[in-house]
Structure 1
């Protein structure tokens, strides 16, 4: 027996009979299938009986009974073949862990009641990843994420074992595979097999073992769906125009940028009520997509025994959101009343044909199609219960669509298939077989009530543009340095009669730049400071007319005091080396100016594709500053070897956050200014991150002009700043022709350690600090 959750009576379900008129159906006695502790609602003159239970309970052994032709309620037996027990409302429970590697958990139960917790601990030598304590929730799911005890030895991180699952495979090198299966009675969402890739990321989606009646809350759906959808919308096409009053716009090129296919199940098993709610939810979804400033082409179809295409992507008005919304609102469930079976295969074949038609049109217009140079992204949103009863499996058609679009390791971003379970009898394995399986993403959702999905899409519309889109850099080949790193700024301090000093920084909000405090003297005035937000030497000439942005306030951390240890013979002390510059003019988000993500903000939660508000600041730290060697990057202005023009170069380094951390920090005493330091903790406080050296690989080093710039961790296509470049042991810029010594280390102010100050200073910037 697995976890379960209630299904409300407002989930309308029609009898599973092809073409039968409601008035001529069999007549079953509702009292013969009454539920103990709950109530039921009769649909369509005895066609279906849907149970409802009080909150925290679920209908057992089935949420729905259907009236058979012989006037008996089906199913007559349970899933294991035994005679069906009398329906009753039972308390929701969560399944217990089946396997847990390199550690232990307690208490040990097969099932846990709502609000019960399970605590995980790792054996010595292993680092715990994930929340150590998880709680059974009212929807039959556990709070938090899969807990892992990892030794950091694999080329991919230990993928862990989700609760309720078993795993085969214990090696995590490139091309190694792990396979999962669920405990009896539970069904799997996600990928049953995953492969360690060269990028250090596991292929596929993390598996989840759940009972058929477990559901996703609106908050879970919103968090998971919006992060993936936002990613797709943002990378669809880089060409956009912005203004202070207009929302973001994406200009669709002749070759197209994004197609969205809305596929709505109108079969008997879904029922008219759920059809109407799903239709209205899709209207809300179109509004959400429009709020991104995206104008994709839409394809719209309903299906039962046959598909009915309402809007084609080749229609002239297919990119008009208002037109498509109107067409959605006009859809009638009765359109499929005479042929009301479920043929999902034919519906997907209609989508496949639509893609072929569009590519044919594009070729006639002289545009290139996949796999040559086509950059059109395709998104399928399918609303169905997954109960196909004719036409065969639809899964082969998904493979045909993938082949047509040349979807593979290098083009996975160009196809997303989201499947939403509709109705009371959702077939999760069938939904899972249709959906995309991508690392750190979720594409299958099953809600308790279709009204919840409507609310989810509606709430998504109000999401802040600033929160959701921080840290977005463009990776296409033609992108300029500024487009790839839109948060990068150059800072100049022009002191009267004393020359100019330069530093770097990062745009963190519409009005603030984050940099290092040591870039400024105690008597520096804000009017002496300017911030360059434009391209620099490698940019387009026309972009440099208004490159400077005046600073109206300089705010260094109050605990920063470079002379704080001079009495102990330490000439320079860089603890709390962080500062904020407030700009005179607002910097609206654009193609070439966008804030980087800061830790412990709602924007970073979305960038990490984690649920909000469940995700905590501690979760951010575990995800970003994991144990061992953490790959990061900083930006350095250097000369292109071929053109000799100044370019902004990304330099990959490794944060020593494991066994090599002590050795990294110990090299600080080899700095010329610290020859008198006997205890390295005097100058390397817990507020520093250390990079550099030659073990396990040679790290490039920062130069003096890089000071104040961000130390960044990339997560997919999003970038999160975790540190500020502060000081280094060796000035490698003075010995460019020589190899840097092994003790050449760099130290960066760890932003996680100054979050109270950042939260206070940026309180009015709408970043949503956790």
Structure 2
């Protein structure tokens, strides 16, 4: 292939990618060289030969119309283009549009348009007696998606909160009483993603995944995919435990699902990569790099995992079976993928058969259970499917999904034993409705994602579960009431009340997903009604006498503590006076105000970790409903667990306290600095009422 064939058109020209017949090889091309798109570029997978795929691309904020790709047919013509039933001879770049708001109950919105251009704005207000939840103002983004969350006006009178009506949709059915069903339907030309029907459950929650209506040309940004896929995947990974003994910790039914696996039970991850002709060899290699990244990310969690690896076109090829010896070793799985997972191994069988690929997973499950059935019902399964977005042979993939669900006995109380994620790569060619039928629909999570190309997929996977410690600090905001010398005149040389700061970053930084209590996001994660208050969050998260919590050490390890509350708190904070700085203080409340949380061993047998010098500022967090909630910030302690124990590699080794020592750590409670947090974060987060 000549360099001229591979070169795309300069932006904004109408010239063909190859301008003269003489610039081609000696053989006569199958299809015309006179191909272009107004306002965009053209690229070819194999010149103008039969089977070559022509791809149109447009600048950000626009999309190719009426198609994104065309194939060079055997008759020497590019596949024809149609729009509204009429043949189109010239492709063009059209401006993105966001779907209109069709209805908004118990309130009003403006402006009312049939479609909204990029940077268009929607404003929402509620009638008297109703409270607005969600985004009061939304902006149309360059990917054809509205920012923020769909708003709703709620009066708190129903068993379930009112359901927001997403842009482009109309609703029908009941309201928000127990057992009511609400259905959504998207306007013509838009695909429904998520659940089309929601049921008001006895728990006061709506079943199913959030509904959205999407234009075929809209897509997800890599950063949004990383955040939402990462949050859901963390849910899968965090609820699976390797069987650690937690018998000494209080048990709380509100902790939600938590599967405790024995040493011979596993989480099974099935990775499926599309190798059909429309994907191309180059993009398939990018799929492999993306899978390598996600295997590495998942393997970083300390739990028993088995990986399966398949490529598929007209038929699937199994590279690694969950029953293989190497399935437990992520490094060997990656090595085998690099060596044996090849695009060309599918030969001329170049169709896209997602049904058969999922049936291969189904067969793998059957064989694995037959060989090792003892703990099969405890195994959790997650399928990650990469596709070009269309299944053009083999029948509907949902048939295989139903078989897998039946085989795993995925009923109401076992829905968390199966997660299916579908990634469609490409804009106009992705069949969003078909993908939605395959993916899991779970409340509060997304399992369908659409990206423009494999590079965006790789970028998204690079940010999933990533531990980015190189953060760029743009601004630091200290609490204005913090003054370490505030009580020096009283003989208290160091006083740490209000010891809290906010850091604003000048670039993306991600230390792992965590929820901030008293926000709408945390409220959804806790599955609280929309009428819940900050006090409700505190009662939920700090409800035990001794609350199991964790903080992260300088060695990046999670350490376990028990937050002492209620009757246990006075004894915990009293040990603060054993520190030399406070040995002459008569009343411990002069040092430990009611803004502090306290942890430390109390001699009753529960082993707790103590902090080291340098770990101040770290997050104190608890787990509820398979999510992590930050409840405090580590401020100070009475015992340096790492003193004189740093090794040559600077790896801190923790020591046990001497006989009679009572290590205590104190944390600024986020519930006690709510006014300050709301003042500085109101523009970034949406808070719920305090009382």
Q: Structure 2 CA distance, aligned partners of 1:466 and 1:53? A: 34
Deviations 1:121-153 (A, max 9, x none): 111111111121111111111110111111112
Between the two structures, name the one with larger relative contact order (CA 8 Å, sep ≥ 6): 1
Deviation at 1:368, TM superposition (A): 3.1
1:20 equivalent in structure 2: none
Q: TM-score, normalised by structure 1?
A: 0.60
2:496 equivalent in structure 1: 555
2:94 equivalent in structure 1: 90
Q: Structure 2 CA distance, aligned partners of 1:434 and 1:270? A: 20
1:379 equivalent in structure 2: 382
Deviations 1:370-421 (A, max 9, x none): 2xxx2x1101000112322222112111111111111121111111100111
Alignment of 1:684-723 (within 5 A): 716-718=625-627, 720=629
Q: Give the alignment partner of residue 44 of structure 2, picking from 42, 45, 59.
A: 42
Alignment of 1:17-28 (within 5 A): 27-28=30-31
2:484 equivalent in structure 1: none
Q: Structure 2 CA distance, aligned partners of 1:291 and 1:713? A: 21
SS at match of 1:180: strand
Q: Is the 8 A contact 1:223 1:609 kept in 2?
A: no
Q: Give the alignment partner of residue 375 of structure 2, picking from 368, 376, 387.
A: 368
Deviation at 1:179, TM superposition (A): 0.6
Q: Is the 8 A contact 1:237 1:257 kept in 2?
A: no
In structure 2, the CA distance between the partners of 1:73 and 1:302, relative to structure 1 (3 Å rule), is same
Q: Structure 2 CA distance, aligned partners of 1:93 and 1:340? A: 34
SS at match of 1:72: coil
Q: Structure 2 CA distance, aligned partners of 1:207 and 1:257? A: 32
Q: Structure 2 CA distance, aligned partners of 1:750 and 1:154? A: 31
2:391 equivalent in structure 1: 388
In structure 2, the CA distance between the partners of 1:420 and 1:756, relative to structure 1 (3 Å rule), is closer
In structure 2, the CA distance between the partners of 1:96 and 1:198, relative to structure 1 (3 Å rule), is same
In structure 2, the CA distance between the partners of 1:62 and 1:755, relative to structure 1 (3 Å rule), is same
SS at match of 2:332: helix
In structure 2, the CA distance between the partners of 1:238 and 1:65, relative to structure 1 (3 Å rule), is same
Q: Structure 2 CA distance, aligned partners of 1:259 and 1:622? A: 28
Q: Give the alignment partner of residue 51 of structure 1, picking from 45, 51, 56.
A: 56
Q: Is the 8 A contact 1:27 1:45 kept in 2?
A: no
2:178 equivalent in structure 1: 174
Q: Give the alignment partner of residue 197 of structure 1, picking from 201, 209, 214.
A: 201
1:70 equivalent in structure 2: 75
Q: Structure 2 CA distance, aligned partners of 1:198 and 1:521? A: 56
In structure 2, the CA distance between the partners of 1:324 and 1:627, relative to structure 1 (3 Å rule), is closer
Deviation at 1:74, TM superposition (A): 2.0
- Are residues 1:322 and 2:338 paired? no
Q: Structure 2 CA distance, aligned partners of 1:41 and 1:264? A: 23
In structure 2, the CA distance between the partners of 1:524 and 1:103, relative to structure 1 (3 Å rule), is farther
Q: Structure 1 CA distance, aligned partners of 2:407 and 2:389? A: 24
2:265 equivalent in structure 1: 256
1:334 equivalent in structure 2: 344
Q: Is the 8 A contact 2:269 2:383 kept in 1?
A: yes
Alignment of 1:474-623 (within 5 A): 555-557=496-498, 606-607=513-514
Deviations 1:711-746 (A, max 9, x none): 99986333546799xxxxxxxxxxxxxxxxxxxxxx
SS at match of 1:411: helix
Deviation at 1:459, TM superposition (A): 2.8
Q: Structure 2 CA distance, aligned partners of 1:524 and 1:240? A: 46
Q: Give the alignment partner of residue 754 of structure 1, picking from 676, 679, 691.
A: 676
1:308 equivalent in structure 2: 317
SS at match of 2:372: helix
Q: Is the 8 A contact 2:152 2:163 kept in 1?
A: yes
1:635 equivalent in structure 2: 543
2:581 equivalent in structure 1: none
2:120 equivalent in structure 1: 116
Deviations 1:17-49 (A, max 9, x none): xxxxxx999822141x42112221122233221
Deviation at 1:327, TM superposition (A): 1.8
SS at match of 1:171: coil
Deviations 1:542-562 (A, max 9, x none): xxxxxxxxxxx65224xxxxx
2:443 equivalent in structure 1: 439
2:400 equivalent in structure 1: 397
Gaps of 5+ in 1: 1-7, 11-22, 242-249, 468-519, 527-552, 558-578, 583-600, 611-615, 639-646, 652-686, 689-710, 725-747, 760-770
Q: Is the 8 A contact 1:304 1:341 kept in 2?
A: yes
In structure 2, the CA distance between the partners of 1:156 and 1:63, relative to structure 1 (3 Å rule), is same
In structure 2, the CA distance between the partners of 1:142 and 1:396, relative to structure 1 (3 Å rule), is same
2:221 equivalent in structure 1: 217
Deviations 1:233-271 (A, max 9, x none): 122224469xxxxxxxx9974432201000111112322
SS at match of 1:105: strand
1:282 equivalent in structure 2: 291
SS at match of 1:260: strand
2:414 equivalent in structure 1: 411
Q: Structure 1 CA distance, aligned partners of 2:489 and 2:130? A: 45
Q: Structure 1 CA distance, aligned partners of 2:238 and 2:524? A: 26
1:503 equivalent in structure 2: none
In structure 2, the CA distance between the partners of 1:602 and 1:402, relative to structure 1 (3 Å rule), is farther
Q: Structure 1 CA distance, aligned partners of 2:88 and 2:176? A: 45
Alignment of 1:342-353 (within 5 A): 342-353=352-363
Deviation at 1:308, TM superposition (A): 0.8
Q: Structure 2 CA distance, aligned partners of 1:291 and 1:714? A: 19
Report the more deviating stretch, 317-326 or 423-432.
423-432
Q: Is the 8 A contact 2:515 2:628 kept in 1?
A: no
Q: Structure 2 CA distance, aligned partners of 1:138 and 1:757? A: 30
Q: Is the 8 A contact 2:161 2:529 kept in 1?
A: no
Q: Give the alignment partner of residue 128 of structure 1, picking from 132, 136, 146.
A: 132
Q: Structure 1 CA distance, aligned partners of 2:336 and 2:158? A: 52
Q: Is the 8 A contact 1:126 1:150 kept in 2?
A: yes
Q: Is the 8 A contact 1:114 1:136 kept in 2?
A: yes
Q: Structure 2 CA distance, aligned partners of 1:49 and 1:603? A: 38
Number of matched pairs: 515
Q: Structure 2 CA distance, aligned partners of 1:604 and 1:100? A: 37
| Aligned-pair Cα RMSD in Å | 4.1
In structure 2, the CA distance between the partners of 1:122 and 1:204, relative to structure 1 (3 Å rule), is same
Q: Structure 1 CA distance, aligned partners of 2:239 and 2:524? A: 27
SS at match of 1:166: strand
Q: Structure 2 CA distance, aligned partners of 1:281 and 1:723? A: 36
Q: Is the 8 A contact 1:381 1:419 kept in 2?
A: yes
Deviation at 1:524, TM superposition (A): 9.5
1:740 equivalent in structure 2: none
Deviations 1:452-494 (A, max 9, x none): 1112222335326999xxxxxxxxxxxxxxxxxxxxxxxxxxx
SS at match of 2:385: strand
Deviation at 1:605, TM superposition (A): 9.3
- Are residues 1:61 and 2:2 paired? no
Deviation at 1:356, TM superposition (A): 1.4
